[in-house]
Amino acid sequence: MPVRRLVLDVDKTIDEPDLIHLASVIESVSGVKAVNIAVTEIDIETVGTNVTVEGDDIDVGALTEAIQHTGAVVHSIDEIVAGAYLLDNKPRSR
């Protein structure tokens, strides 16, 4: 089952890695075709980000390892899209 999109909650320190380096490392992972990093919060020592990754068959283990190798921390996988094509989430109304 090919993983096509992941949305990750990733924290990093203020100084390292910088966002350009983090994006470059993520983009180099097997199966990754595009990456978007959005800063969600900043405090004295850390920067919280949402990282969205899309591709054809993302190697999730290699992606997590690559992010952690930069010194950043993956807190959670908040969304995953897998299968033959990209499928957008449709929020339910209650």
Question: 73-84: per-residue pLDDT in tens?
Answer: 999 999 999 998
Asked if the structure places residue 68 within a domain, the reply is yes
Sequence-separated (6 or more) residues with CB below 8 Å from residue 33: 54, 55, 56
pLDDT, position 72: 97
Entry pTM: 0.90
Asked if the structure places residue 91 within a domain, the reply is no
Asked if the structure places residue 47 within a domain, the reply is yes
- pLDDT tens digits for 4-59? 999 999 999 998 999 999 999 999 999 999 999 999 999 999 999 999 999 999 99
b/e per residue, 27-58, with b = 16+ CB within 10 A? Answer: eebebbeebebeeeeeeeeebebebbbbbeeb
Asked if the structure places residue 92 within a domain, the reply is no
User: What's the CATH code of the domain at 9?
Assistant: 3.30.70.1340
pLDDT, position 66: 98
The domain tally of the chain equals: 1
Q: Which domain holds residue 76?
A: 3-82
- Whether residue 88 is predicted with pLDDT greater than 90 in this model: the reply is no
Asked if the structure places residue 93 within a domain, the reply is no
Asked if the structure places residue 94 within a domain, the reply is no
